[in-house]
Structure 1
Amino acid sequence: MANEKATTQKGSISIDAQNIMPVIKRWLYSDKDIFIREIVSNGVDAITKLRMLGLGDGEDLKVTVTVDKKKREISVSDNGIGMTAEEVDKYINQVAFSSAEEFLKNYAGEDPAGIIGHFGLGFYSAFMAADRVTIDSFSCQEGAEAVAWESKDGITFEMKPGLRAERGTTITMHLMKEEDEFLESSRIREVLEKYCGYMSVPVILADLESIRERRAEHEKRRKEWEKEAGKKKKEQGKAEKAEEGSGEEVTADNEPFSEPEPSPVQINDTKPLWLKSPKECNEEEYRETYRKLFRTWEEPLFWIHLNVDYPFNLKGILYFPRIKKDFSGQDGEIKLFNRQVFVADNIKEVIPEFLMVLKGVIDCPDLPLNVSRSFLQNDGYVRKLSTHIVKKVADKLNSLFSGDREAYQRYWDDIHPFIKYGCVSDRKFHDAVKDAILLKTTKGDYLTLDEYKARNQGKTGNKIYYTTDAARQAASVSPFEAREIDVGVLDTLIDVNFMSFLEYSGGQDVQFMRVDADIKGLQDESEDGKAMDAEKMQTRIREVLGQPEMEVKLESLSDKDLPGVLTEDEQLRRYKDMSRIYGQSQAFPQRYTLVLNRGNKSVQAIAGMEAGEKQNLLIHQIFDLARLSSQPLEGEELKAFMARSNKLISLLALE
C-alpha cells in the first residue's frame, strides 16, 4: 500500500492487466472519443465532492482541458477535492482497474454498439488513445502531500511524491501517433461540445497552438494600432501648433487599444434550460436551445418541457419539428444525458421508436447506463420510464387540442404523420389521443372522426370517404362535394396502415373508402338513364379492350358530362399499397371495374354505333380518360393515348 511518506513506489496493476488493456483498446475502438468524456467527468466529480464538503465557496472552480500539439499531450486539470497517495493507490491501482476488468467480463459477448454510454470504464479509458498517462494530485486534506503517478502501458506504474502545490488533480495523456486527430483544435472542441457541453462545472478549453496563433495575430494588430496612433499623435501636435493663440481647444481622439487578449474559452453551459422550471423559461430561450442543440436555423413547431421528480427523476425538452409525409430523410434526434453528461443519441430502449422523429434532450440520472441494451429491454424501471414519456407527449397534444384548437389545426399538417405512426405503434398512445385525431378535408376543414360522422349523418353511414390525391382524383371527388359529403385527404405512407388500424383495432365503428372505390357518391338515383342493351355493350367493350375478365357496369351517374369511371376494390388496392411500401415485388392482377354513365351522350352514341374503327377509338378513349382520373399514363400507353386523341380530333374536324 502506498503512503504519503514514500519516495517512489513501483508495481504491476494486476496480473491480468496485460490481457485486459489491449482488449479495451480494440473492443471500444469505434467509440474511443469517450475517453475525453470519462476523464473530464472525473474532474467534474472531484469538484462536486469538494462542494459537498462545503469547500471551495467563492473560488473559480473549473475543469481545464489543455491541448499541447507540440508535446502530443492532452491534460485535464481540476481544482476539486484532489487525492492523497493512499487514495491514488486505492482508486487508480485497484478500484479503477477492477471496474475496467469487471466491465469487460460482463459485456465481453455484447456488440460494442449495444453498451449504453460505456460509463464505468473511467480512468483507464485514457489508454484507448494514450501510450503514457500521468497523474499529479494534491488533496484538500489537511497535511496532505502532493503525489505523482505514471504508467506507460496501463500495466505497470510508478508513484512518487509530486510537485503540485495547488489543490486538485491533473491527468496528462501523451497520445499515440495514430490518435493525432484529438490534437486538432476543431476535433477536440467537437468532442468536448458533444459530451461535455452541458456539464455542471465550467469546462475550459486551452488549445495552446490556437492560443499562440491568436495571440500572435493580436500582437500584430496591437502594433499596427500603435503605429497608426503614433501618426495621429504627430498630426495632432502639428494641429495644436497651428491653432496656438487662437483660443480654440484641440481634443485628442485616440482611444486606447482595447481588444482583449485571446485566452482559453469555456465550451459548456452549466445551467441548461431543461433543468430549469418551465415557469422560468421563455419562448425565445426554448428556440435558442433548439438551434444550439441541433445546429439548425429551422424553427420547432412546439415543445414539451419534462420536469418530473416523482415517480422518476426526469428532466428534458422534446421538440416537434415539421415532419415529412413519407418520413424520408426525417432525422429525429433525442439526446440522452446522465446528470448533464451526454451518453448517446436515440436509445430506443428508453425512447419509443415512434418518438424518434422528434428532437430533444432527456436527462435521467437514475437510468442504469453502464449496462447492455438487452438489459434495458427487460428492465421494469426503463419500461415505466418509456411509458411515462409517451404519456407526457399525449398529454401535451390533448392540452393543445382542447386549449387552442386553432393552433393545433395549424400544426396538424406537419405533425399528423407522427401521431398516426404513434397510434399504430402504441395502443396506449392511441387510446390517449384518439379524440384529438383530425381528418383534413378537401375543403380545408379539420374534423375529428366523430365530427365527420355528425356532419355527414344520413349520407355515409359509418363510411369515411377519402382521396389520396385530390387533384388527380378530382373527377371522383366532385360528385361527393356536390352532395355536400366531406372527403378526407389521406395522402401519406402511414395512412394505409392507419386506416386499417382504426377499422380493426382502433375501437371505432368506421370504414374508410376511397372515392374511386365506390360509385355510391356518383350515382344518380332519380333516373335510370337511357335504355340500352347492357349485355351487348359490356361484351363489346371487353372485346375492344382485350380484357375478357373485366367487370363492366352501366349506371346513371349524377355528372352527365362524365362518360365513365374506374373503381377498384378498396381492400385489394390497400394490399397492393402495403406491398409497395414494404418493398415486396409481388405482382397483382389488374382488378378494376369500368362504370359507364348511361346518362352521358357519348356513351349513348357509342352504344348506338355499328362496330368499327370509330367505335373502337371512342371506347379506348373513354377507358383511358377513366384511368387518368386515378393514375397517370406512362410510356407506350401515353404514346397511344396521344396518337388516338390526335386521330379523333382529325375525325371531328372532317365532320
Structure 2
Amino acid sequence: MTMQKGSISIHAQNIMPIIKRWLYSDKDIFIREMVSNACDAIVKQKMAYPGSEDEYRVTVTLDEKLGEIRFSDNGIGMTAGEVERYINQVAFSGAEEFLKNYQGDEKGGIIGHFGLGFYSAFMVADKVTIETLSGSEGAVPVRWVSEDGMQFEMEDGSRTQRGTDIILHIGEEDKEFLQEYKVREILRRYCGFMATPVYLQVVKAEEPKEDKDAQDSKDELKKDGEAPAPKAEEPKAPEHINDLAALWLKNPKDCTAEEYNNFYKRVFHAFEDPLFYVHLNVDYPFNLKGILYFPKITNDFGTREGEIKLFSGQVFVADNIKEVIPEFLMLLKGVIDCPDLPLNVSRSFLQNDGYVKKLSAYITRKVADRLVSLFTTERETYQRYWDDIHPFVKYGCMRDSKFFDQVKDSLLYKSTKGDYLTLQEYVSKNEGTLGKKVIYTNDPARQAASVALYEAKGIDVVVLDALIDLNFVSFVEYSGSGESVTFARVDADASSFTQEQDGEEEALKTDEKKLDELFKAALGKEDLTLKLQKLTDASLPALLVQEEQSRRFTEMSKIYGQDFKMPEKYTLVLNQNSPVVQSLLAAPEGEKRDLMIGQLYDLARMSTRPLEKEEVTAFLSRSHKLLELLGQ
C-alpha cells in the first residue's frame, strides 16, 4: 500500500482544541477509553471465532525512555479500509457527537465523559501511531500516524501478529502520565474490574553508561578481591491490574462471607470487616448488579463522604453519582454496576430520567428489605449492629418516605439499661404511667439524677445522643408513625415523679412563696420561675426543668449557627421532701443562707448544661466559703 495522506474532517481544527480545554482536569480518561477500545476489539474477535483457545489480554506499556504509552491487544485488528472507516470517519464522528453533548450542558457536565473514544488520546499526545493487523485471511498490516488529530498518514505497517498497538507520544505538558504510580492508579480505578485481563508493563530509561576509565577502575577492584559490581536490574514482569474478580457479578448464593469481606477490604482499603452487606442482582426490568456494605457509621456522619462506585459493564464511571444513587445511601460503601445506564448525558437529564428513578427506588427498597429481614430473623444480631447503623437508618427515614414506611417498625431505641425496644414495645411497656410519651436523655452522665427518678418508678429512659436525634424525634412525632407519640427529655418536667399533696396545699403555697422571694433576692433573678413540689426521692433537693419544644428550638438554632435566640425559660423545682430545702426555710437571714441558695441553683443547672467560665469561678468561690463556715 502506498502512503496515503489526508485530513480527517474540515471540523477537526475546531473540535480538538475545545475538547482539550474542557476536559483539562479530566485528561486521565484517555487511559480508560484506550483500554475500553482494546477490550472491545477482543470481544469482537471472540464473537467472530468462538471457542478459540487464544489467551486474550490488553497490555499497557509505559516507556520512560521514548516518552510513550503503548496500548496493545490481540483482538480482531483492522484492515486499511477499516482504519479509514473506524478511525477517520466513525471515531471522529463520535468525537463530534461528544462535543455536541458537552456544549449542551457546560455547567452540569457529562457523566464520566464517555464517548470520546480514540480521540481522547490527543488530549495528552503530540503524536499518535496505530499499528494494526486484521485477523482476516491475506490481511496486510497498517500503520496510521497523526500529530494533531487533524492530518494523518497511512501506509503499510510492521505488525506481525493479529491485533492492534496504539502508541501515544506524550506531549511536554503532560509528562505526568509517564509516571508509573500515576498510570497504575488510573488503570486500577477505571479498569480494575474489566472482564479482559489488563497488564501494565514498565520500560525504565537506561542508566547512563560509565566511561572506560571508570570501568577499568572497577576491573582493578575486582582483581584486588572486591565483590563484583551488581548486575543490571532485570525488567519487571507485566503487572496484572485487574486480578480481583468482580464479585458483584457472581450469584449471591455462591458467595461466601470471607469473599464479601475480602472484597470490601481490597476495594475500599479498609482494615475492619463491614457489619453486613446487601447483594443486588436483578436482570428485569433493568440490568443491575452490585454490593452495598454497611460500615460503622459514627455520630458525626454528616462530615463523611460516601464511597459508592458506579460502574457500567465493569468499567468505572464515577464515585457518588447522586442522580442515580439515593443521597442517604452515600453513607454506605459499595459498587453498583448498571450496563444500561445512559452515560453520555448530563446530570440534569439523569435526575429526571424515569429509568434512573426506578433504578434508585429499587436500590432503596432492597436496602430496606435487608434491614427488615435482619430485624425479623436475627434480632440479636440486628441489635448488635444498631449502635453503628442507626444514624444512617434515621437519616434515610427523614430523606425518603418510602424507606421510612418500610423500616419504621424495625427502628430501635436503646434504653439506659441497655435494652433495645421498638416504639411500639416502648409504648406498650410504659403506657400505664406515661401514656404515649417517650422519655429520653441526650447525656446520660450529666442527666443521671433525672434518669434515676424515672428508673426508680420502672419507667424506661431511651438514649438519643446522636447529632441527628434532635431532628429525628421531631420527624417521628409529625411523620404519622402510627403511635402518635411525643418525646420529652428527662428534665422537661417533674410531673412523673411528684407525690400527691394530701391536703397540704395551703402550707405548700406559703412555703413556695417564701422560697420564691428568698431565691430571687439571693440570685438577683426577678424573672426566675420557682415551684415547690414533693418529689419521690428525698435526697434530691432541686431540679431545673425546661419546656421541651422551646429547648429543642434553641438547640436547633445553635446547630445551624443561627443568631436568633429565644429566652431560655427554666423552672426551678424545689423538693419539699428534701432536708436541704427544709433547712433553707428555717435558716436565719445571712451569708450562709445566700451561699446555700446559690450553690443549690448551680447544682441544678449543672445537670442540664456545663457552667460558663465565670459561673465556675463563682461556684468554686462559694464552695470554699461554705466549707469555711462549716468548719467554724
TM-score by length of 2: 0.93
Equivalent in the alignment of 2:498: 523
Report if aligned partners of 1:303, 1:319 keep a CA contact under 8 Å in 2.
yes
Mapped to 2, the partners of 1:113 and 1:131 lie a distance apart of 29
Q: What CA distance in whole angstroms lies between the structure 2 residues aligned with 1:185 and 1:107? A: 31
Match of 2:344 in 1: 370
State the distance in 2 between where 1:281 and 1:137 align: 41
Give the partner amino acid of 2:593. Answer: Q
* Structure 1 residue 299 corresponds to structure 2 residue 294: no
> Which amino acid is 1:475 matched to?
A
Q: How many residues align?
A: 604
The list of structure 1 runs, each at least 4 consecutive aligned residues, that deviate by more than 6 angstroms after superposition, is none
Partner residue, 1:587: 565
Q: Is the 8 A contact 1:198 1:271 kept in 2?
A: yes
Per-residue CA distance 1:219-276 (angstroms, 9 max, x = gap): xxxxxxxx9xxxxxxxxxxxxxxxxxxxxxxxxxxxxxxx998411211036311100
Q: Is 1:356 paired with 2:356?
A: no
> Which residue is 1:114 aligned to?
109
Sort the Cα spacing of 1:542 and 1:114 in 2 relative to 1 into closer, same or farther, 3 A: farther
> Could you tell me how far 1:559 is from its partner in structure 2?
1.1
Q: Is residue 2:485 matched to residue 1:510?
A: yes
The residue that corresponds to 2:226 in the other structure is none
Structure 1 residues 607, 111: CA separation in 2 closer, same or farther (over 3 Å shift)? Answer: farther
Opposite residue 146 of structure 1, the aligned amino acid is P
Find 1:471's aligned residue among 438, 445, 459. Answer: 445
After alignment, is 273-282 or 155-164 more displaced?
155-164
- Report deviation, 1:55: 4.3
1:317, 1:361 within 8 Å by CA — same for their partners in 2?
Answer: yes
CA distance in 1, matches of 2:76, 2:178: 28
Q: Distance in 1 between matches of 2:107 and 2:204?
A: 34
- Report the Cα distance in structure 1 between the residues aligned to 2:519 and 2:337, rounded to whole angstroms: 68
Distance 2:78 2:560 in 1: 59
Counterpart for residue 345 of structure 1: 319
How much is the aligned-residue C-alpha RMSD, in angstroms?
Answer: 1.9
SS at match of 1:589: coil
Choose which of 192, 204, 209 in structure 1 pairs with 2:187: 192
State the partner residue of 1:570. Answer: 548
How far 1:535 moved relative to its partner? 2.1
Q: How far is the alpha carbon of 1:545 from its aligned partner? A: 2.0
Query: Aligned partners of 1:413 and 1:120: how far apart in 2?
Result: 45
- Residue 594 (structure 2) pairs with residue 616 (structure 1): yes
Deviations 1:425-471 (A, max 9, x none): 00000000011100000000000000001111211101000000111
1:398 maps to 372
- Alignment of 1:104 with 2:99, yes or no, is yes
Contact 2:5 2:152 in 1 (8 A): yes
2:471 equivalent in structure 1: 497
- Given that 1:27 and 1:112 are in contact with CA atoms closer than 8 Å, whether structure 2 keeps it comes out as no
Q: Deviations over 1:345-403 (max 9, x none)?
A: 01001111110010000111010111110000010000000000000000000111111
Deviation at 1:185, TM superposition (A): 1.3
Other-structure match for 1:66 = 61
Q: 1:309 maps to what in 2?
A: 283
Report the residue type matching 2:571 in the other structure: T
1:207 aligns with 2:191: no
Aligned partners of 2:532 and 2:590: how far apart in 1? 21
One-letter code aligned to 2:359: L
Q: How does 1:598-613 map onto structure 2 within 5 Å?
A: 598-613=576-591
Alpha-carbon deviation of 1:330? Answer: 2.6
Per-residue deviation at 1:643? 0.8
Q: Mapping of 1:95-494 within 5 angstroms? A: 95-111=90-106, 114-209=109-204, 262-269=236-243, 271-494=245-468
Letter in 2 for 1:16: H
Quickly say closer, same or farther: Cα 1:551–1:545, change in 2 above 3 A.
Answer: same
For residues 538-586 of structure 1, what are the alpha-carbon distances to aligned partners after superposition, in whole Å with 9 as ceiling and x for unaligned?
1332232222222211111111111111111111111122222222232
Residues 199 and 269, structure 1, Cα contact 8 Å, conserved in 2: no
Structure 1 position 549 matched with structure 2 position 527: yes
Asked whether the equivalents of residues 202 and 270 of structure 1 are also in contact (C-alpha less than 8 Å), the reply is no
1:201·1:270 contact (CA, 8 Å) conserved in 2? no
- Of 645-654 and 436-445, more deviation after overlay is shown by 645-654
* SS of aligned partner of 1:464: strand
Q: Which runs of 5+ in 1 are unaligned?
A: 1-5, 214-226, 228-258
Letter in structure 1 aligned against 2:165:
T
What is the CA-CA distance between 1:124 and the residue it aligns to?
0.8
Contact 1:138–1:169 (Cα < 8 Å) also in 2: yes
Deviations 1:121-175 (A, max 9, x none): 1111111111111111111222322111111011111112212121111111010
Distance 2:404 2:109 in 1: 30
Q: How far, CA to CA, are the matches of 1:516 and 1:111 in structure 2?
A: 55
- Partner amino acid for 1:644? R
> What is the SS of the residue equivalent to 1:498?
helix
Partners of 2:459 and 2:98 in 1: CA distance: 65
Deviates more, 1:604-613 or 1:477-486: 604-613
State the identity %.
60
Match of 2:215 in 1: none
Aligned pair in 2 of structure 1 residues 204, 486: CA closer, same or farther (>3 Å)? same
Question: Is the Cα contact below 8 Å between 2:65 and 2:203 reproduced in 1?
Answer: no
How far, CA to CA, are the matches of 2:500 and 2:447 in structure 1? 22
AA matched with 1:395: D
SS in 1 for 2:76: coil
**Normalization by structure 1: what TM-score?**
0.89
Shift of 1:328: 5.0
| Paired residue type of 1:285 | E
Structure 2 letter corresponding to 1:513: A
Provide closer, same or farther for how the CA distance between residues 103 and 403 of structure 1 changes in structure 2, counting only shifts above 3 A: same
CA contact (8 A) 1:322 1:415 kept: yes
The correspondence for 2:604, drawn from 595, 619, 626, is: 626
For residues 517 and 82 of structure 2, what CA distance do their matches in structure 1 show? 97
Q: C-alpha separation between the residues in 1 aligned to 2:253 and 2:26? A: 38
User: Which residue identity is paired with 2:79?
Assistant: T
Counterpart amino acid of 2:119?
Y
Give the letter for the 2:435 counterpart.
G
Contact preservation (8 Å) 2:101, 2:344: no
Q: Distance in 2 between matches of 1:54 and 1:390?
A: 42
What is the CA–CA distance in structure 1 between the aligned matches of 2:480 and 2:43, rounded to whole Å?
51
CA distance in 1, matches of 2:142, 2:554: 73
Q: Which residue of 2 is the match for residue 243 of structure 1? A: none
| Distance 1:338-1:483 versus aligned 2 partners, 3 A rule | same
Q: Distance in 1 between matches of 2:140 and 2:344?
A: 34
Residues 15-64 of structure 1 deviation map (CA, whole Å, 9 limit, x = unaligned): 12112111111101111111100100000111111112234721110000
Distance 1:474 1:299 in 2: 35
Alignment check: 8 A CA contact 2:110 2:345 kept: yes
